Amino acid sequence: MNSSEVVVLDYGSGNVRSAVRALERAGASVTLTSDFQTALNCDGLVVPGVGAFASVAEGLRAVGGHRLVGRRLAGGRPVLGICVGLQVMFERSVEFGRDDVEGLGEWPGTVELLPANIVPHMGWNTVSPPPGSVLFAGVERERFYFVHSYGVQKWELPSPGDPDLILAPPLVTWAEHGARFVAAVENGPLTATQFHPEKSGDAGAQLLTNWLGTL
């Protein structure tokens, strides 16, 4: 069986080589590029994110990442966001006191400072995936590696059991640091994690393998 063709989007984010290596170890054929057509046509697109929300959003728009993600999702083609790559899928951030920084708007919600005694939230933490999660199959009770000071603390779309729900609801995984925050989302072709699977040892490797299995 041929390996999946995965693009890690190169838009000027921080060190993304660890993500490339982790995906390769999980069995993918990986290209690090900002080329629009290559990223549009691959089996799976990974949107990494290191640093400030505003700089990540600006870098993505500079290479057409907002159009790229939108077109892939409209065609049902998988996208995986990592760390700030999860955050920019939401509407906006109030990082550093600003309230005018727009994300890609794939999900409603605001990225806010974690109300914890110690920030950033740096290190290993458990997560609480929902029943039916494909992403966390086999690693539901494992710890994952986080590095962030901001997070989405309120999920604003319908949840399982909502009487107004028509389509299958997104599966939201939560973690806690000062408050409960979104640790991962599985929403059709769009998947994202607040933690770094590429830095999360065997558990992260299995999670990436699980995602590749959906391509």
Mean pLDDT of 180-201: 97
Average pLDDT, the chain: 93
Residue 198 bears catalytic tag: yes
Residue 112 burial by Cβ neighbours in a 10 Å radius (0-12, 13-18, 19+):
middle
pLDDT digits (tens, 9 = 90+) for 94-114: 987 777 789 999 999 999 999
Catalytic site residue from 42, 66, 83, 121: 83
pLDDT band with cut points at 50, 70 and 90 for residue 159: low
pLDDT band with cut points at 50, 70 and 90 for residue 1: very low
pLDDT digits (tens, 9 = 90+) for 111-130: 999 999 999 999 999 999 99
Q: What is the per-residue pLDDT for 166?
A: 52
| Cβ neighbours for 97, distance < 8 A, ≥ 6 positions apart | none
Q: What is the per-residue pLDDT for 36?
A: 97
* DSSP result, 86-107: HHTTEEEE-GGG---EE---SE
- Ramachandran region, residue 97 (left: φ > 0; alpha: ψ -120 to 50; beta: rest): left
Residue 196 bears catalytic tag: yes
Rounded CA gap, 174 and 194, in Å? 10
Question: Among positive and negative, which fits the CA dihedral 13, 19, 20, 23?
Answer: negative
Q: What is the per-residue pLDDT for 100?
A: 74
Spans of all domains in the chain? 5-212
Note the CATH number of domain 5-212.
Answer: 3.40.50.880
Catalytic site residue from 91, 95, 106, 198: 198
Residue 106 bears catalytic tag: no
Look up the pTM and report it.
0.93
Is the pLDDT at 137 greater than 70, yes or no?
yes
Cβ-contact 44, 4 below 8 angstroms: yes
Q: What is the CA radius of gyration of the chain?
A: 16
